[in-house]
Amino acid sequence: MKEKHGAILILSGPSGCGKSTLLKEVYKDIEDYYFSISTTTREPREGEEHGVDYLFTSKEEFEKDIENGDFLEYANVHGNYYGTSLKPVKEALNEGKLVIFDIDVQGHELVRKQLDDVVTSVFITTPNLTELENRLNSRATDSKDVIEKRIKNAKHEVEFFQDYDYFIVNDNLEEASKQLVSIANIARIKTKLFNKENIVSSWLK
Amino acid sequence: MKEKHGAILILSGPSGCGKSTLLKEVYKDIEDYYFSISTTTREPREGEEHGVDYLFTSKEEFEKDIENGDFLEYANVHGNYYGTSLKPVKEALNEGKLVIFDIDVQGHELVRKQLDDVVTSVFITTPNLTELENRLNSRATDSKDVIEKRIKNAKHEVEFFQDYDYFIVNDNLEEASKQLVSIANIARIKTKLFNKENIVSSWLK
Whether residue A11 lies inside any domain: the answer is yes
Q: Is A177 exposed, middle or buried (0-12, 13-18, 19+ CB in 10 A)?
A: buried
B73-83 residue pLDDT tens: 998 877 899 99
Residue B160 with chain A: CB contacts under 8 Å: none
How many independent structural domains does chain A possess? 1
A34-73 residue pLDDT tens: 999 999 999 998 899 999 889 999 999 999 999 999 999 9
Average pLDDT over residues B151-169: 95
> CATH no. for residue A172?
3.40.50.300
The proportion of chain B whose per-residue pLDDT surpasses 70, expressed as a percent, equals 99
pLDDT, chain A, mean: 92
Whether residue A68 lies inside any domain: the answer is no
The residue segments making up the domain with residue B164 are 7-36+97-203
A32-41 residue pLDDT tens: 999 999 999 9
Burial B101-137, CB ≥16 within 10 A → b, else e: bbbbbbbbebbbeebeebbbbbbbbbbbbebbbebbe
**Residue among B128, B138, B42, B182 nearest A182 (CA):** B182
Residue A104 makes CB contacts below 8 A (sequence gap 6+) with: A12, A75, A77, A82, A157
What is the model's pLDDT at position A94? Answer: 94
Whether residue B71 lies inside any domain: the answer is no
Average pLDDT over residues B13-23: 92
B122-157 residue pLDDT tens: 999 999 999 999 999 988 777 888 899 999 999 999
Q: Which of A94-103, A138-147, B22-31, B61-70 has the lowest mean pLDDT?
A: A138-147
Average pLDDT over residues A97-124: 94
Q: Is A16 annotated as a binding residue?
A: yes
What is the model's pLDDT at position B77? Answer: 79
CB contact under 8 A, B162 and A200: no
CB contact under 8 A, B205 and A125: no
Instruction: Give the span between the Cα atoms of A164 and A183, in whole angstroms.
Output: 12
Whether residue B81 lies inside any domain: the answer is no
What is the model's pLDDT at position B203? Answer: 92
Whether residue B92 lies inside any domain: the answer is no
Name the CA dihedral angle for A163, A165, A170, A176, rounded to a multiple of 10 degrees. Answer: -170
Q: Is residue A193 scored above 90 in pLDDT?
A: yes
Whether residue A19 lies inside any domain: the answer is yes
> Which of B129, B161, B182 has the CB atom closest to A185's CB atom?
B182
A119-161 residue pLDDT tens: 999 999 999 999 999 999 988 777 888 899 999 999 999 999 9
A10-27 residue pLDDT tens: 999 998 899 989 999 899
Residue B77 makes CB contacts below 8 A (sequence gap 6+) with: B104, B153
> Which of A163, A169, A186 has the CB atom closest to B2's CB atom?
A169
> Which of B130, B166, B194 has the CB atom closest to A190's CB atom?
B166
CA distance B154 to chain A (A): 10
Whether residue B168 lies inside any domain: the answer is yes
Cβ pairs bridging A and B (under 8 Å): 112
Whether residue A85 lies inside any domain: the answer is no
